[in-house]
Amino acid sequence: MRFIHLSDLHIGKRVNEFSMLEDQEYILKEILGIIDDEQPDGVIIAGDVYDKSVPSEEAVKLLDSFLTSLAKRKLQVYIISGNHDSAAKLAFASSLIDLSGIHISPVYDSAQIATMGDGLVRPYKLEDGKGQVANIYMLPFVKPAMVRAVFPDEADDIKDYTDACHVAVEHMDVDEKVTNILVAHQFVTGAVRSESEENVGGLDNVDVSVFDSFDYVALGHIHGPQKVGRETVRYCGTPLKYSLSEANHTKSVTVVDIPENKKIEIRTVPLVPMHELREVKGTFDELMDRRNYEGTAVDDYLYVVLTDEDDVPDALGKLRTVYPNVMKLGYDNTRTRVTQTIDDGAVLEGKKPIDLFGELYEKQNNKEMSDEQRSFVQDIIDSIWKEERL
């Protein structure tokens, strides 16, 4: 038995006001190519399918196209909602879609208890055609308040995210004699975060021991591929880089093989994006020198760090004539390396305006004004005083 583990597609995402839709369409086609090569029995998408709870029309169309392509391949697909998704919107018409093999987790609330009974998260049985079966449990992103509302008799025992997930798992009534897979979207304690993830200061931590009943835990939420606690509790990561903190990530598709009951084998297949995301650093003249950029991927998404001591007028506009996808521009120089504060009690009496301005400039820029700058400021001061005398 084999399945593909995906998560955090964030369809419709914008990074520094750059739309990622074209890149997402490209990488989803690459993922379909990997699926065709690997021939899995199922595909898991562990939450944050969309980037916003109210996705754009273009984002909805892209997901529709991707899911249609998966359905045409006669695959079983298991999707849960993440913290970026609207669980209700994602699960629209899920009972009807279920018939095509696309299984979407329902909203985790008390209303579902009325139709599904106590087993709010019931397993799907994935078969490989050779008689082997795995139970797949889909737990959408949950908060303590959500689980308290579903199980009010246990509300007093649910104080944090670990308690919430523990209660949710207990009500799954897992048969540990067979292979069990959990799809979840939570922050498991010990995972390494990225800048582009939502963070509530560690309050959302879930202890990995909550998932001991499962042979493989397909996690979403964290953007860097990694294991947590044991090899078989894994984040597959995002298919694309969504922040500078992810620049050194190797994005991939996680392939999970189950050669026999309760035996798990894991490997990854690298993903190659349409545009890389990376940082470049140097002086403005160095970066604009054809000899330095010729033959490089100038259309990559770039975070540019200029090392010039003085700000370059319209640097971003000029850089984009060579590097069209500069996402962000910053400086690394004497001014930016040290932060100084201005003393409210500074002595002002007896100081000339030019001297006061010079002190302020030095505090802000960590260097003295040049003679040219000092002369320029003095001319402005003189012209203001001249106007006041008139």
- Sorted by sequence, the CB contacts under 8 Å of residue 147 that are 6+ apart come out as 108, 158, 164, 165, 167, 168
Residue 306 sits in the same domain as residue 205: no
How many independent structural domains does the chain possess? 3
For residue 251, pLDDT beyond 80: yes
**Count H helices, E strands: the chain?**
13, 19
State whether 317 and 238 are in the same domain. Answer: no
Answer yes or no: do 258 and 124 share one domain: yes
Same domain, 301 and 383: no
In a domain, 344, yes or no: no
Residue 343 domain-assigned (yes or no): no
Confidence of residue 76 (pLDDT cuts 50, 70, 90): very high
User: Are residues 192 and 282 located together in one domain of the fold?
Assistant: no
The secondary structure of residue 311, as a DSSP letter, is P
Last residue of a domain, one of 211, 235, 270: 270
Using the predicted structure, report yes or no on whether residue 58 has a pLDDT greater than 90: yes
Asked if residue 115 has pLDDT above 60, the reply is no
Is 190 in the same domain as 289? no
CB atoms within 10 A of CB 8: 28
Judged against a pLDDT cut of 80, whether residue 110 lies above it is answered with no
Report helix, strand or coil for 309. Answer: coil
Q: Which residue carries 């004497």 as its tokens? A: 334
Tokens read off for 164: 């919430």
SS3 333: coil
* Inside any domain, residue 346: no
Q: What span, in angstroms and rounded, lies between the C-alpha atoms of 259 and 3?
A: 12
Which of 4-18, 59-73, 341-355, 356-370 comes out lowest in average pLDDT? 341-355
**Mean per-residue pLDDT, 261-287:** 95
Average pLDDT over residues 89-99: 86
- Residue 109: its pLDDT value, please? 81
Does the structure show a pLDDT above 80 at 333? yes
pLDDT at 119: 54
* 74 within domain boundaries: yes
Give 317 or 354, the one with higher predicted confidence. Answer: 317
Percent of the chain's residues with pLDDT above 90 = 60
Please report the pLDDT score of residue 346 as a whole number. Answer: 53
Question: What average pLDDT does this structure show over 154-180?
Answer: 91
Distance CA 366, CA 75 (A): 61
Residues 118 and 160 in one domain: yes
Does one domain contain both 260 and 327?
Answer: no
Specify whether 243 is located in the same domain as 296: no
Are 190 and 173 contained in the same domain? yes
pLDDT at position 341 over 60: no
Out of 215, 237, 270, pick the residue that ends a domain.
270
Return the pLDDT at 343: 56
Q: What is the pLDDT of residues 372-384, one digit of tens each?
A: 888 888 888 778 7
Tell me the pLDDT band of 179, cut-offs 50, 70 and 90. very high
From 246, 270, 294, give the residue that closes a domain.
270
Residues 297 and 242 in one domain: no
Element (H, E) at 334: helix 334-337
Residue 250, classed as helix, strand or coil, is: coil
Instruction: Kindly report the average pLDDT of the chain as a whole number.
Output: 87
Element (H, E) at 14: strand 14-15
User: What is the pLDDT at residue 390?
Assistant: 53
Sign of CA dihedral 180, 186, 189, 193: positive
Task: Answer whether residue 348 is part of any domain.
Answer: no
Q: How high is the pLDDT of residue 66?
A: 97
Residues 6+ apart with CB under 8 A from 169: 139, 182, 210, 211, 213
Separation between Cα atoms, residue 61 and residue 49, nearest integer Å: 13
| CA–CA distances in Å: residue 339 to residues 36, 329, 333, 342, 363 | 54, 19, 12, 10, 8
What domain range includes position 376?
Answer: 353-389
Mean pLDDT for the stretch of residues 161-186:
92
Q: How confident is the model at residue 112 (pLDDT cuts 50, 70, 90)?
A: low
User: What are the start-end ranges of the H helices in 47-86?
Assistant: 57-72
Q: What is the pLDDT of residue 97?
A: 87
Q: Please give the C-alpha separations between residue 116 and each of 36, 137, 185, 227, in angstroms, as whole numbers.
A: 35, 14, 21, 33
Residue 233 has a pLDDT of 95
Q: How many CB atoms lie within 10 A of CB 6?
A: 23
Answer yes or no: is 69 within a domain.
yes
pLDDT at 311 (0 to 100) = 86
**CA distances to 7, 8, 77, 156, 201 from 224, in Å:** 11, 10, 22, 35, 18
Question: Would 154 be classed as within a structural domain?
Answer: yes
Which one has a higher pLDDT value, 311 or 344?
Answer: 311
| 119-162 tens-digit pLDDT | 567 888 888 777 778 899 999 999 999 999 989 998 998 999 99
> Is 256 inside a domain boundary?
yes
Shared domain for 162 and 246, answered yes or no, is yes
How many residues are present in the chain? Answer: 390
> How confident is the model over 194-249, as pLDDT tens digits?
766 565 445 688 999 999 999 999 999 999 999 998 899 999 999 999 999 899 89
Using DSSP, state whether 315 is helix, strand or coil: helix
Taking each helix axis as running N to C, give the angle between helix 353-365 and helix 371-389, from 0 to 180 degrees, rounded to the nearest 10.
Answer: 140
Helix, strand, coil proportions of the chain in percent (round to 5)? 35, 25, 45
- 229 exposed, middle or buried (CB, 10 Å; 0-12, 13-18, 19+)? middle
CATH of the domain at 211: 3.60.21.10
pLDDT exceeds 70 at position 281: yes
d(CA 90, CA 26): 22
What was the pLDDT predicted at 329? 93
